[in-house]
Amino acid sequence: MLSKPATLKEIARKLNISISTVSRALHDHVSIGLTTRQKVKRVAAEMNYEPNQTAVFFQKGKTFTIGVILPELSEAFFSSATSAIEETAYQKNYTVLLAQSHDNAQKEIELVEKMKNHRVDGLLVSLAKNTCSFEHFERLKKYDIPVVFFDRIPPLPNIHSVACNMETGTIEAVNYLLKKGHRAIGMINGPKTLFASGERKEGYIKAIQKNRLKFDASLIVNCDLTEKDTERCLTELLANKRKVTAIVTFNDYIALFAIKQTRSLQLPANENLEFVSYANLPLINYMEHVPVASVEQFPYLQGQKATDILLELLANKERNSVKQAAFYNITIESQLIENNKED
Amino acid sequence: MLSKPATLKEIARKLNISISTVSRALHDHVSIGLTTRQKVKRVAAEMNYEPNQTAVFFQKGKTFTIGVILPELSEAFFSSATSAIEETAYQKNYTVLLAQSHDNAQKEIELVEKMKNHRVDGLLVSLAKNTCSFEHFERLKKYDIPVVFFDRIPPLPNIHSVACNMETGTIEAVNYLLKKGHRAIGMINGPKTLFASGERKEGYIKAIQKNRLKFDASLIVNCDLTEKDTERCLTELLANKRKVTAIVTFNDYIALFAIKQTRSLQLPANENLEFVSYANLPLINYMEHVPVASVEQFPYLQGQKATDILLELLANKERNSVKQAAFYNITIESQLIENNKED
DNA sequence: AACCACTGCGCAACCGTTTGCGCGAAAAGT
DNA sequence: ACTTTTCGCGCAAACGGTTGCGCAGTGGTT
């Protein structure tokens, strides 16, 4: 008994008026008399009228849909960001079309293509790890589909982006450890190729120098982010001639690997070894031995801001406002969060 | 310089042929000669033709979009399931429209409405915690939008569903502990109101009885899933006159709370206290002291199966096959996974 | 030479909605 | 009483494709 939704045409026939009148009446157009307007609305309700959005989308050339392309949804950071994106979009009556690149640059290209075909109104993107060319995004400009990058943003001028500045958080982190009395602070950083690694290193150095201490390059080691390599980095740091009593790690996972290591090593020196990490993932709440602090990167906020920007761009477009010469680039200051565990 | 995508019409004019010929040529329709077909394709490529999907969707009354409504994307279980949904859908050229109910029944209703307006081809739903009426889903049948429920499924006949049967896993879990020599096995179960709690209890009892042991109801306590209440449950179990040496917990979080507790209590008895939990969340991999085993619920698989079913239903619809009298109901057997940690 | 089948393509309707424009009638202005 | 304005509504095009049907031309069969 599948009763296809009623259309404007059917309402029109039932009332013996024109389709356009029905359409206008339902939109409270001024040129439709009060009585007809009410009649139309009543009948529409009776017939369970629902506008066919696909027709509207088609007609208006707008889908009220924003595409989201990110590496991996099941990563806590991204699922949190996506959650924010969906919520923010929902409030402005937009829906979210979701796709994962799985950190595959090729798939990312295909997805951009697909999003374009779906005629999304705009795109939110967090780059795949190995994306190094950006023409597929350039092409979107031709179709007037705005793109806002978040978290993993390309090194390009003239883009819209939201990202977290790691430097501040790192400075805070190092300061925090210095205040607690640590003097030899190690850092297990990420691969040198990552932009984020550079920011962390900069922050480390600035904090050290502002405290009028001497920067010792041997205290920073680069890690490929695997558990094995973390082990290597840890032993390297512990073997340092200076007695490392605190370590800043590239992210929570590295910290957890390292903590596990130190505890299994059972060195007396490790009793006081303190860790600070990045991300502040929810799993931290469930750990027994957690880093003493974590640099929060606000995935939820990033998702929210990025969506705000995109919606703003879309609203501007609607208003036919002057050609956008402005580019939105928000950097959120990362922030140190102490983990108050009664541990 | 926003060059709107080329349309069939423009290609047709350029070649001095009709629109329909262009359309058919691009679809390799038999009735178009080889030469024209090639000419059309060449020009289409030159002009950067991209079919306007919204037009196609509208025309065909099909959007190649499936809606996903779930409680909270940032929960590991759901982000993993969603990841699977997206992937499976992607392979069949469908895209995913995402929305979160935040465990709010009212919002769930609105979302269903919105999905209907967006003319999604089908819907994947995991219910909000407090959803108790299901008319909003019934209404979809009128519009011929199939719905497949997963994980949190409604207690209704004649629906499509994918869910995990906890009984098997629980039996395995208890058996596993019995084989390891435990005789007094406690259980921190969820609230009695949850269906899933019942399944776990059943499994527990069956395993005990199959091993010709006597079921002791005092060994099962119900927890409201907060950390505080977990504490209460734990002390209650440890105070039991029988000496509890192993505990099955409702989920990983409860297990972690409990493990943290036992270690801070420092009772000698706790040295050998073993835990088994459910879910097998990724965070387990990063724990120092993990449950000895976990009942896996296969979020990824659930998402995959649910999507498979939905796509199958859609394919059937296309084939105009007889009115669906069949209902797909897949129950995945939960399965005990040992956590091999060299701990 | 008449008939038929087949090939290759165009015509036009259709999907449901929006919207510029025009038109008749009623109300208002002179 | 005649013109002008306002009001209320309908006509029809447009958005970009898809598809049933028809039609001309070609080639083959009797």
Residue that is written with structure tokens 């519009």 in the block? B143
pTM of the full predicted structure?
Answer: 0.84
Q: Is residue B303, in this structure, part of any structural domain at all?
A: yes
Q: Is residue A288, in this structure, part of any structural domain at all?
A: yes
Q: Is residue B341, in this structure, part of any structural domain at all?
A: no
* 8 Å CB contact of B86 and A74: no
* Cα torsion angle, B28, B33, B34, B39, sign: negative
Q: Which amino acid is at B101?
A: S
| Whether residue B287 sits in one domain with residue B205 | yes
Spatial strand order in the sheet of B329-333: A329-333, A160-165, A147-150, A122-125, A65-70, A95-100, B95-100, B65-70, B122-125, B147-150, B160-165, B329-333
Domain count for chain B, please give it: 3
CA distance B233 to chain A (A): 18
Q: How many CB pairs under 8 A join A and B?
A: 145
Between the CA of B20 and the C1' of D21, what is the distance in angstroms?
A: 13
| Whether residue B70 sits in one domain with residue B180 | no
| Whether residue B126 sits in one domain with residue B247 | no
Chain B contact set for A65 (CB, 8 A)? 97
Calculate what percentage of chain A has a pLDDT beyond 70: 92
| Whether residue B313 sits in one domain with residue B215 | no
Which tokens go with B264? 């801070």
Chain A contact set for B55 (CB, 8 A)? 58
pLDDT at position A342 over 50: no
Q: Which residue of A has its CA nearest to B145?
A: A2
Work out the average pLDDT over A139-149. 89
CATH code: domain of residue A236: 3.40.50.2300
Q: Where is average pLDDT lowest: A128-132, A203-207, A249-253, B287-291?
A: B287-291
Q: A144, A198, A211: which is closest to A172 by C-alpha?
A: A211
Q: How many CA atoms lie within 13 A of A277 on its CB side?
A: 23
| Whether residue B288 sits in one domain with residue B259 | yes
How confident is the model at residue B118, as a pLDDT? 84
CA distance B80 to chain A (A): 5
How confident is the model at residue A1, as a pLDDT? 45
Q: Is residue B342, in this structure, part of any structural domain at all?
A: no
Between the CA of A109 and the C1' of C28, what is the distance in angstroms?
A: 64
Q: Which amino acid is at A342?
A: E
User: Mean pLDDT in chain B?
Assistant: 89
| Whether residue A227 sits in one domain with residue A206 | yes
| Whether residue A286 sits in one domain with residue A201 | yes
CA distance A268 to chain B (A): 19
In this complex, the nucleotide whose C1' atom is nearest to the CA atom of residue B50 is D16
Chain B contact set for A47 (CB, 8 A)? none
Between the CA of B196 and the C1' of D5, what is the distance in angstroms?
A: 72
Q: Rounded CA gap, B221 and B233, in Å?
A: 6
The residue among B48, B60, B72, B74 with the most chain A CBs within 10 A of its CB, best to mutate, is B74
pLDDT at position A84 over 50: yes
Q: B156, B146, B155: which is closest to B308 by C-alpha?
A: B146
Contact B97, B119 (CB under 8 A): no
**3-class DSSP state for residue B67?**
strand
| Whether residue B172 sits in one domain with residue B187 | yes
Task: Give mean pLDDT in consecutive 10-residue pieces for chain B, a chain of 343 residues.
Answer: 77 94 94 92 93 93 94 90 95 91 93 89 92 90 91 91 92 94 94 85 95 95 90 94 93 86 72 83 69 90 97 82 75 86 46
Q: Which residue of B has its CA nearest to A118?
A: B53
Chain B contact set for A287 (CB, 8 A)? 286-288
Tens digits of residue pLDDT in A20-79 = 999 999 999 998 999 999 999 999 999 989 999 999 999 999 999 999 999 999 888 899
Domain range for A45: 8-51
| Whether residue B155 sits in one domain with residue B224 | no
Work out the average pLDDT over A5-18. 92
Contact B173, B187 (CB under 8 A): no
* Cα torsion angle, A294, A300, A306, A309, sign: negative
Q: Is residue A116, in this structure, part of any structural domain at all?
A: yes
| Whether residue A170 sits in one domain with residue A287 | yes
CATH code: domain of residue B18: 1.10.260
Residue that is written with structure tokens 């919204």 in the block? B54
| Whether residue B326 sits in one domain with residue B261 | no
Q: How many CA atoms lie within 13 A of A160 on its CB side?
A: 25
Q: Is residue A178, in this structure, part of any structural domain at all?
A: yes
Strands A335-338 and A293-296: antiparallel
CA distance A324 to chain B (A): 13
Which tokens go with A168? 């501040």
Contact A119, A63 (CB under 8 A): yes
Crossing angle between the packed helical segments B8-15 and B34-46, to the nearest 10 degrees: 120
| Whether residue A306 sits in one domain with residue A273 | no
Calculate what percentage of chain A has a pLDDT beyond 90: 64
Q: Rounded CA gap, A224 and A230, in Å?
A: 8
